[in-house]
Chains A and B, each alone.
Chain A
Amino acid sequence: MRFAVTKVCGGGGKARVGALHIGGGGGIAIETPALLLSTRKGLPSFVSCDHLASLPLPDSLLLHVCPTHFMEGPPLKTISNIGGLHHMLGLPDHILVAAAGDSIESLPSSEATNKFGASFDTPSGRRLVKPSDYMELVSCMKPNLWASLADEVPAWVTDKRNKISVDRTLRWLDACIALDADSGTNGFGVIVGGSSVEQRRLCATEVSKRNVSGFWIGGFGLGENIEERCSLLNAVTDCLPPEKPRLVSRLGLPEEVLEGVAAGIDLFDSTYIYQLTMGGFALIFPIDMVEREIQNGTFNNDGGDSTKINLRASTYRKDTSRLVDSCNCFTCQNHTRAYLNHLLNVHEMLAQILLEIHNTHHYLHFFRSIREAIKVGKFDLFRQQFVKKRRANITAAVL
């Protein structure tokens, strides 16, 4: 894996565009900031491979895979025999990034984690994963990139527990690197530290000393204060070398993404799309308009653009318009809001499939807009405008 920052947003900002090169020879180049699509046992929750292939490329090649989803899966030997994850999933061209926890099916349970391993709550019960187990999974699966095993704790733990989590995470990082056949060349070191700026800085500095190819900032999205998070995130990125990629886990809302990008984050792993889909929501916030406005130098302050719509609402029963007129995804090209409303009402899985396709498409385009804004040096403006519009809508809705 190779990574290079290609453009930094001017004016003292930390937002940057980069290029991630994976795979030897004529490998793929992914532009960052980018989104890792969330998966269940390696595949998207609803989008089958034929539709996955028609999502924006190469953006949609980046997948977040949880090795812990496979603990009830095929035995390691079988996975090896099949040739690893890429072959087993039928996704030879995709970029699979493995990390132990996620927000849906593999939740870190910090009270059960101990000195031997990290505990996760999964659909098949609570599992303790030792660094050796984890690296065995990683070596059989052969993902393109992997994050070390970490002890992620929520914001409300004691200082003592927080310190322990930092110690363990560092110890386990070293253990993972030692167990890795490639000595960590594809490994991302996880940074924890909870809500303590001091611990965060300590952890970040220590992880930077290891031979990792990137940084995975964990422990957020677990109940911390939103204002706190911004300063914590920036404290971490300030301690990290700029030439290696930084990923933040579990921050996926549009504002969180913008905050992360502003702090110098390159990659995001989030289940936002899945949660939207399960709720029957479709993203509709206009991305292009903000772009266009920035180019024209005009700012539309009349609000009235929503971010997302809930297709279960009866207002959509007879709405034969598309989700988003300018969207080129399969769902918008072929189906109407009324049809989605109907599918949701009769509990058809097609609703989730169509929504996941659209939401993924839309959100990947959001990331593209972010990259464009950074390239033309207007990221701060883009972020301001976006947040302002969203707030205007929320207040308008309340009033």
Chain B
Amino acid sequence: MNWKRALLTDSGGFQMSPLLHLADITEEGVTFQSPVDGKPMLLTPEESIHIQNNIGADIIMALDDVVKTTITGPRIEEAMYRTLRWIDRCIAAHKKPDVQNLFGIVQGGLDPVLRDICVKGLVERNLPGYAIGGLAGGEDKDSFWRVVAQCTAGLPENKPRYVMGVGYPLDIVVCSALGADMYDCVYPTRTARFGTALVPEGVLKLKQNAMATDERPIDPTCSCMVCKKYTRAYLHCLVTKDAMGSQLLSYHNLSFMMRLSRDLHMSILEGRFPEFVRGFLRVQFPKGDVPQWVRNAMEVAGIDISECCASTKCLTPSIDEQPPLPIPVEANGGVPN
């Protein structure tokens, strides 16, 4: 690839999820049917680490037993314990621990008890970093942030926390407020291919008819190559139709995400993170209709966003319907009474 910067490889486990209906997950590994020639293929923790050792990325991911958060039942518990057993096999198989950082992945679905066991189990193994997995799969937002909050509270302060599969700019801001550090998502480039640009207000759908005569750049506040050179009107005729359209929009969306990361980073360094969050939310929700889950999450994160939120009376469900706010789990795993 001739890429001189940092690289991270995934275990290959998630990429097989679409093939899981053809798969058989056993203690040994994941057997699935190759989409290329139909032959059975087995991906074991050892094999995954072996391949990742060869590719040579700076951060490599353990093979975990990942289940969708929309599933309920004993399968989630099975997957969580298996993930812990597999992390040991991954650690044993890892040939280059001095140059490649193996991250463990916290599983456990939406069950706080299972998540807690998994967090503790991984922390015991003293890994260079930890990922929060099994999310970003369609679960409701209120459950999503609670899992993230619980995990970040339980994972070591001095090691990176990587929320896999996240995501939307709003999700990244919330998770960062809750103490997460790293993210990955196909969203910016995928949405670009469908003609959607990321802007501070949310999204801009360039395929809309109104865009055909709009002479402004995608985002007047953005200084990327695309926003400096092209108008919405011109991009409107390119997106979804021409390869160049996908390229230019992907370029802008990635610039947007990098700017967001930089802004988050700088605001924390300069001691004005809450202000940044308030500014972010104000632009995304000018009418003050900040979703309830965001309000709940920010409360737990200790960020005051009340001035961004319109009167709560008309916007939130009745007090009986609201789930209780989570009780913070302390670093040692204890739950205050």
Question: Residues of A at under 8 Å CB distance from B?
Answer: 40-41, 43-46, 48-50, 70, 72-75, 77-78, 81-82, 88-90, 123, 334-335, 339, 349, 352-353
Residues of B contacting A49 in the complex (Cβ-Cβ under 8 angstroms): 225, 229
B242 CB-CB contact with A under 8 Å: yes
Residues of B contacting A46 in the complex (Cβ-Cβ under 8 angstroms): 243-244, 247
Residues of B contacting A88 in the complex (Cβ-Cβ under 8 angstroms): 230-231, 233-234
Q: A45-B243, A75-B212 are in contact. Are A82 and B2 (CB under 8 A)?
A: no
CB contacts under 8 Å to A, within B259-288, are: none
Residues of B contacting A44 in the complex (Cβ-Cβ under 8 angstroms): 244
A49 to chain B, nearest CB (A): 6
Residues of A contacting B248 in the complex (Cβ-Cβ under 8 angstroms): 48
Residues of A contacting B1 in the complex (Cβ-Cβ under 8 angstroms): 339
Q: A41-B237, A88-B231 are in contact. Are A78 and B213 (CB under 8 A)?
A: yes
Q: A41-B237, A78-B213, A334-B2 are in contact. Are A48 and B231 (CB under 8 A)?
A: no
B253 CB-CB contact with A under 8 Å: no
Residues of B contacting A72 in the complex (Cβ-Cβ under 8 angstroms): 237
Residues of A contacting B247 in the complex (Cβ-Cβ under 8 angstroms): 46, 48, 349, 353
> Number of contacts between A and B (CB, 8 Å)?
64
Contact, CB under 8 Å: A78 / B215: yes
Interface string of B70-84 (1 = CB under 8 A from A): 000000000000000
B236 CB-CB contact with A under 8 Å: yes
Residues of A contacting B234 in the complex (Cβ-Cβ under 8 angstroms): 73-74, 82, 88-89
- Contact among A74, A123, A339, A352 for B236, CB-based, below 8 A: A74
Closest 7 CB pairs of A and B: A90-B229, A73-B237, A74-B233, A78-B213, A78-B233, A334-B2, A88-B234
Contact, CB under 8 Å: A40 / B2: no
Residues of B contacting A73 in the complex (Cβ-Cβ under 8 angstroms): 234, 237
CB contacts under 8 Å to A, within B220-246, are: 225, 228-231, 233-234, 236-238, 241-244, 246
Contact, CB under 8 Å: A335 / B242: no
B251 CB-CB contact with A under 8 Å: yes
Determine the distance from Cα of A272 to Cα of B212 in the docked complex, in whole angstroms: 31
B231, B238, B251: residue with the most chain A Cβ atoms closer than 10 Å = B231
Contact, CB under 8 Å: A48 / B212: no
Q: A40-B244, A75-B212 are in contact. Are A70 and B237 (CB under 8 A)?
A: yes
Residues of B contacting A70 in the complex (Cβ-Cβ under 8 angstroms): 237
Determine the distance from Cα of A78 to Cα of B215 in the docked complex, in whole angstroms: 7
B189 to chain A, nearest CB (A): 11
Contact, CB under 8 Å: A48 / B251: yes
- Contact among A75, A123, A334, A353 for B241, CB-based, below 8 A: A123
A19 to chain B, nearest CB (A): 29
B234 and chain A: residue at smallest CB distance: A88
Determine the distance from Cα of A72 to Cα of B240 in the docked complex, in whole angstroms: 13
Contact, CB under 8 Å: B215 / A82: yes
Residues of A contacting B213 in the complex (Cβ-Cβ under 8 angstroms): 74-75, 77-78
Determine the distance from Cα of A81 to Cα of B216 in the docked complex, in whole angstroms: 11
Contact, CB under 8 Å: A43 / B244: yes
Given A82-B233, A90-B228, 9 more A-B residue pairs with CB atoms under 8 Å apart are A48-B244, A48-B248, A82-B215, A82-B234, A90-B230, A339-B1, A339-B2, A349-B243, A353-B247
A37 to chain B, nearest CB (A): 13
Determine the distance from Cα of A233 to Cα of B18 in the docked complex, in whole angstroms: 58
A310 to chain B, nearest CB (A): 20
Could you write out 5 A-B pairs with CB less than 8 Å apart?
A40-B244, A49-B229, A72-B237, A74-B234, A75-B213
Determine the distance from Cα of A40 to Cα of B247 in the docked complex, in whole angstroms: 14
Determine the distance from Cα of A380 to Cα of B228 in the docked complex, in whole angstroms: 47
Contact, CB under 8 Å: B246 / A40: no
Residues of A contacting B212 in the complex (Cβ-Cβ under 8 angstroms): 74-75, 78
Q: A46-B243, A48-B247, A50-B225 are in contact. Are A74 and B2 (CB under 8 A)?
A: no
Determine the distance from Cα of A78 to Cα of B237 in the docked complex, in whole angstroms: 12
CB contacts under 8 Å to A, within B154-175, are: none
Determine the distance from Cα of A90 to Cα of B225 in the docked complex, in whole angstroms: 10
A46 to chain B, nearest CB (A): 6
Residues of A contacting B241 in the complex (Cβ-Cβ under 8 angstroms): 123
A336 and chain B: residue at smallest CB distance: B2
B212 and chain A: residue at smallest CB distance: A74
Determine the distance from Cα of A148 to Cα of B244 in the docked complex, in whole angstroms: 28
Contact, CB under 8 Å: A352 / B243: yes
B206 to chain A, nearest CB (A): 12
Q: A41-B237, A41-B242 are in contact. Are A81 and B2 (CB under 8 A)?
A: no
Determine the distance from Cα of A76 to Cα of B292 in the docked complex, in whole angstroms: 46
Residues of B contacting A50 in the complex (Cβ-Cβ under 8 angstroms): 225
Residues of A contacting B251 in the complex (Cβ-Cβ under 8 angstroms): 48
Determine the distance from Cα of A44 to Cα of B231 in the docked complex, in whole angstroms: 17
Q: A88-B231, A349-B247, A352-B243 are in contact. Are A81 and B215 (CB under 8 A)?
A: yes
Residues of B contacting A41 in the complex (Cβ-Cβ under 8 angstroms): 237-238, 242, 244
Determine the distance from Cα of A352 to Cα of B212 in the docked complex, in whole angstroms: 28
A271 to chain B, nearest CB (A): 15
Residues of A contacting B244 in the complex (Cβ-Cβ under 8 angstroms): 40-41, 43-46, 48
B240 to chain A, nearest CB (A): 12
A335 to chain B, nearest CB (A): 6
Contact, CB under 8 Å: B215 / A40: no
B318 to chain A, nearest CB (A): 49
Determine the distance from Cα of A77 to Cα of B213 in the docked complex, in whole angstroms: 8
Determine the distance from Cα of A140 to Cα of B248 in the docked complex, in whole angstroms: 24
Determine the distance from Cα of A254 to Cα of B246 in the docked complex, in whole angstroms: 32
Residues of A contacting B246 in the complex (Cβ-Cβ under 8 angstroms): 349
Determine the distance from Cα of A339 to Cα of B123 in the docked complex, in whole angstroms: 38
A273 to chain B, nearest CB (A): 14
Determine the distance from Cα of A46 to Cα of B247 in the docked complex, in whole angstroms: 8
Q: A48-B247, A74-B212 are in contact. Are A40 and B231 (CB under 8 A)?
A: no
